[in-house]
Structure 1
Amino acid sequence: MSPMKGSRRRRLVLLAAAALAALAAADDWPQWRGPTRDGRWYETGLVEHFAAAALEPTWRVAVAPGYTSPTVAAGRVFLSDRPDADHERVLCVDAATGEARWEHRYECRYSGISSRAGPRAAITIHDGRAYALGAMGHLHCLAADTGAVFWSKDLSALYAIQMPVWGIAAAPVIEGPLLLLQIGGREGAGVVALDRLSGEERWKALPDRASYATPLIIDQAGQRVAVCWTAQRIVGLAVNSGRLLWETAFPEPARLVAVADPVLDQNRLFFSDYWEGSLMLRVDPKRPAVSRLWYRKGASDQQTDALHAMITTPILDGEALYGVDSHGELRGLRAADGERLWESLELLPKLRWGTMHFVRNRDRVWIFTEKGDLAITRLTPDGLTVLSRARLIEPTKAQHARGVVWSHPAFANRAVFCRNDRELLCASLAAP
């Protein structure tokens, strides 16, 4: 065999191994918004239509209140909650049975924040470690298999956090050796990067207060850039150093809420805010810079233009944008200028802060509504098509008085994992 053929064969073997590894990793949901942090789910062999009006759980277990979304890795499900007024807690259960594996409880009394049901940020799982960030800034690095504490930090005490109204909510982000956190600390600690193994500070940046949106990592001009939407502006930070590469702002950032994450598609970054409307930026691929493509804002939170998102992170997909407006209206927009293409109230009635969560799988979008329904849909520039719909979990009132489920579900192992303020459950989505 010639050296060239041998080299080619080795390359094919390596590519096949890499593909298998990626496929295996895709079975998990180890962090906020999934394996690639973009609301995409890559499994196949899924149900096409629900057989009944309600999904039958494979298992269900009792939990305390909280907003944290479940994460799934290596056969375990992770969740944070608030079992009593003096503690937050990290839970781990078996993904197949719901059987308790371990819990870690720590002292935490809420002060100066609203909506006190429990922790907000999803737990991030990486290389056998669980990174849990509480509503008041308590950060723990735990062994994912046992719950043993590698290290912990009270970030509010360390960085004098300027606490957001709804507490710390942006999920921890792993990027290479670093753990990135948007916390709104004083003295230039709006965003901090810690060594993910030791917890030691590697850099800090920005005097900004924190928003609730999780940083988005992008490739730009040959480097990794953390796009951080703070309470004041949008910035691009060099991941390796925290250096400010570029910044921009909503034209009228008087009342920014900034809950929905920024989304990226084809060198375009999209942001949408409950009060301030929609902003589309172009990412310069050759240098660290951005430019505004368009901005639209309505007269109020009820007379909106384009999209005024609250909790729901939108989808930016080629020529179209899909999102949930301020009062629960599901909308399709033209990505080129934000012009509305259609609007639907089929999945959710008109409600202030009406919330759905989108997860893309092939040509389908799985939509979970705050009323506890899971729908298999298609979203196109022509409109919404609901292919099937079923009740997954009952809404509860600790998160909001009207009864809601605002926590994002996790999709892994051909199943969905979902929580309200009383229980965590798993339901199979495998094709029969």
Structure 2
Amino acid sequence: MNRNLILAVVVSQGLFAFSQLQAEAPTTRTAQKVRQPASADWPSWRGPNGDGHASPDQKAPVKWDEKTNIAWKKAIPGKGHGSPIVVGEHVYLATSVDEKETRSLLCLNRKTGEIEWETVVHQGHAVLPRNKKGTQASSTPACDGERLFINFLNDDAMYTSALSLEGEILWQRKISDYVVHQGFGSSPVIHEQLVIVVADNKSGGAIAGLNRETGEVVWKRDRPETPNYPSPVIMETSGKVQLIMIGCDLVTSLDPLTGKENWEIEGATTECVTSTVTNGDLIYTTGGYPKNHVAAVRTDGSGKTEWENGVRVYVPSLLIKDGYLYGVTDAGVAMCWNAATGKEVWKGRLGGTFSSSPVLVGNLIYVSNEASESFIFEASPDEFTLVSKNNLENVCFSTPAICGGQIFIRVAQQTGEARQEYVYCIAETPSQSDN
């Protein structure tokens, strides 16, 4: 197997389940206020519910190019594969400048794209990815309405940092030492009073729940000495809130507030990338090393695998809607399965290599390949129906944020060794870009 296909490990990882934030904290704990996401927000990796779904009332453009439906285009410093998030009037994303050995967080004005602030979170002591498609800024931030959280590698370790909405560093916490195998791209997830992070790696990493306000370690668990790349996923499944991790040859369920193990089974591959989704009773693990697989695992603690196939959906995460599972293979084939049985319903070729994950907007699925060709097709079990194909003629590894009738997408122009990254705001009523 070509191990370089692990490349987009560093691409967009992270998960954030805001639906769980709406639950009241237990009376024995001190609850911290969490800003409830507006439908016009995209506050973390994979959106307001951490499952790749835009808010139900959302619509987005289906056609664009460099001259059509571009509200603004902004050049940004450095490079990264982390996805943008959108909260209120601002867009936030991570970036790194290799020459200066900086890892930073950027804040852009949502209306104009102007950079309002840039905070260097780490400088020096760079930890370079070994995969040629990796970057030092492949984690996606998460926002609780008062603070921003971001993961970076620094000085052979993984650190989580909290920043104010004005860009002030509030606290930093070392999670574990980190030995790079391919790269790093796991993102923070917020749950009640905690921000939960993971640093799986060859030296034996950790998963931890940190107090959002202080950075204090509330709980921490050691992880296997295995390279692995997913973000923690929090979901309600089988009647309880569970923190799910795949990879390291395991499928693991923890109590997100305490870190206590609910159940753990062998079943995933060694190295995974994607953020899993649920139909309420099953979760779907996908992997690409040492074998390709898509598998449905019961979350009631029984450890039963309901079905499995050998399709390579290694990097792009899956979507689930109305009992059907939708995916895009790394090699550019859109697929639909019956989520309960695993029966293949249809497949259709898109073309190209995919590292970005699909996003569901209403009944449409949006996904981009590494050549920045964006495909829109219907989320319907009836047949594969391609609605449109759009091209920004750049390079794209990042997953878009889609909210408030707008698409925010990170791309790069690559000319030889020269690279310039941009954030685009795509909207039906474009304004003249000042770039």
TM-score by length of 1: 0.80
Instruction: Work out the CA distance in 1 between the residues paired with 2:64 and 2:140.
Output: 31
* Match runs of 1:369-380 below 5 Å: 369-380=369-380
Choose from 343, 348, 353 the match for 2:347.
Answer: 343
Stretches of structure 1 that go unaligned for 5 or more consecutive residues are: 1-20, 298-306, 397-404
Secondary structure in structure 2 of the residue aligned to 1:184: coil
Partner of 1:357: 357
Identity of counterpart residues, as a percentage?
A: 21
Rg larger for: 1
Tell me, in whole angstroms, the C-alpha distance in 2 between the residues paired with 1:50 and 1:185.
41
Deviation at 1:23, TM superposition (A): 9.1
Q: 1:55 to 1:212 in 2, by over 3 A?
A: farther
Distance (Å, rounded) in 1 between the aligned partners of 2:323 and 2:56: 25
Q: CA deviation at 1:59?
A: 1.5
Amino acid at match of 1:134: F
Q: Distance in 2 between matches of 1:272 and 1:280?
A: 9
How many Å apart are 1:318 and its aligned residue?
4.1
Whichever residue aligns with residue 359 of structure 1, its letter is V
For 1:416, the equivalent position in structure 2 comes to 407
Equivalent in the alignment of 1:258: 272
- Residue number in structure 1 paired with 2:52: 39
1:277 aligned residue (293, 303, 308): 293
Q: Which residue of 2 aligns with 1:26?
A: 39
* Residues 180 and 202 in structure 2, CA contact (< 8 A), matched pair in contact too: no
User: 65, 70, 78: which is aligned to 2:84?
Assistant: 70
**Equivalent residue for 1:18?**
none
Residue 245 of structure 1 and its aligned partner are, at CA, apart by: 1.2
Compute the displacement of 1:206 (Å).
Answer: 3.4
Cα distance in 1 for residues equivalent to 2:58 and 2:361 = 11
Instruction: Report SS of the residue matched to 2:38.
Output: helix
Evaluate the alpha carbon distance shift between residue 390 and residue 194 of structure 1 in structure 2; reply closer, same or farther with a 3 A threshold: same
Q: Separation in 2 of the partners of 1:326 and 1:387?
A: 20
Question: Is the Cα contact below 8 Å between 1:140 and 1:151 reproduced in 2?
Answer: yes
Q: Does 1:248 align with 2:247?
A: no
Does residue 117 of the first structure (1) align with residue 139 of the second (2)? no
SS of equivalent residue, structure 2 residue 357 = strand
Partner secondary structure for residue 40 of structure 1: coil
Aligned to 1:315: 319
CA contact (8 A) 1:27 1:412 kept: yes
Cα distance 1:27–1:103, how it changes in 2: closer, same or farther (>3 A)? same
Matches of 1:197 and 1:82 in 2, distance apart? 26
| Cα gap change, 1:45 to 1:272, in 2 (>3 Å) | closer
Q: CA deviation at 1:189?
A: 5.2
Q: Which of 146, 152, 156 is equivalent to 1:128?
A: 146
CA distance in 1, matches of 2:203, 2:209: 15
Kindly state the Cα deviation for residue 326 of structure 1 after the two structures are TM-superposed. 4.0
How far does residue 193 in structure 1 lie from its aligned partner after superposition? 1.0
- Give every structure 1 segment of 4 or more consecutive aligned residues whose post-TM-superposition deviation is greater than 6 Å: 21-24, 185-188
**Letter of the structure 2 residue corresponding to residue 90 of structure 1:** L
Secondary structure in structure 1 of the residue aligned to 2:172? strand
More helix by share: 1
1:142 and 2:173 aligned: no
CA contact (8 A) 2:378 2:386 kept: yes
325 and 222 in structure 1: CA distance in 2 versus 1, 3 angstrom threshold: closer
CA distance, structure 1, for counterparts of residue 195 and residue 35 of structure 2 = 22
**Equivalent residue number for residue 243 of structure 2:** 226
8 Å Cα contact 2:243-2:256 kept in structure 1: yes
**Who is 2:196 aligned against?**
180
Residue pair 1:132, 1:139 contacting (<8 A) in 2 also: yes
| TM-score with structure 2 setting the length | 0.79
Letter of the structure 1 residue corresponding to residue 113 of structure 2? G
Number of equivalenced pairs: 379
- Cα 1:338–1:43 shift into 2, 3 Å: closer
CA contact (8 A) 1:187 1:207 kept: no
Partner AA of 1:244 in structure 2: E
Which of 107, 112, 115 in structure 2 is aligned with 1:97? 112
Mapped to 1, the partners of 2:212 and 2:36 lie a distance apart of: 25
Query: Measured at CA, do residues 101 and 235 of structure 1 come closer, stay the same or move farther in structure 2, by a change above 3 Å?
Result: same
Matched position secondary structure for 2:70: coil
RCO greater where, 1 or 2, for CA within 8 Å and sep 6 or more?
2
8 Å Cα contact 1:71-1:78 kept in structure 2: yes
Contact 2:55–2:403 (CA under 8 A) maintained in structure 1: no
Q: Contact 2:327/2:334 (CA < 8 Å) preserved in 1?
A: yes
Q: Deviations over 1:386-416 (max 9, x none)?
A: 223322x3323xxxxxxxx110011122111
For 1:9, the equivalent position in structure 2 comes to none
Q: Which residue of 90, 94, 115 maps to 1:80?
A: 94
Q: Which residue of 1 aligns with 2:389?
A: 389
The CA distance in 2 between the partners of 1:357 and 1:387, in whole Å, is 18
Structure 2 unaligned spans of 5+:
1-33, 413-420, 431-435
Per the alignment, do residues 52 and 407 of structure 1 end up closer, same or farther by CA in structure 2, a change over 3 Å counting? closer
Give the RMSD, CA atoms, in angstroms: 2.8
8 Å CA contact retained: 2:253, 2:264: yes
Deviation at 1:110, TM superposition (A): 2.0
Distance 2:245 2:308 in 1: 18
Question: 1:198: which partner in 2?
Answer: 214
Distance of 1:374 and 1:207 partners within structure 2: 37
Q: 1:212 to 1:132 in 2, by over 3 A?
A: same
**CA separation of 1:121/1:89 partners in 2, compared to 1, >3 Å: closer, same or farther?**
same
- SS in structure 2 opposite 1:58? strand
CA contact (8 A) 1:223 1:238 kept: no
Q: d(CA) in 2 for partners of 1:220 and 1:190?
A: 24
Residue of structure 2 in register with 1:238 after alignment: 255
Q: 1:374 to 1:240 in 2, by over 3 A?
A: same
Q: Could you say if the C-alpha distance between residues 430 and 375 of structure 1 is closer, same or farther in structure 2, counting changes exceeding 3 Å?
A: farther
CA change 1:51–1:93 in 2 (3 A) is closer
1:379–1:199 distance in 2 versus 1, CA, 3 Å: same
Contact residue 181 and residue 201 of structure 2 kept, 8 A? no
Q: Which stretch of structure 1 is more off in the superposition, 88-97 or 108-117?
A: 108-117
1:215 positional shift: 1.5
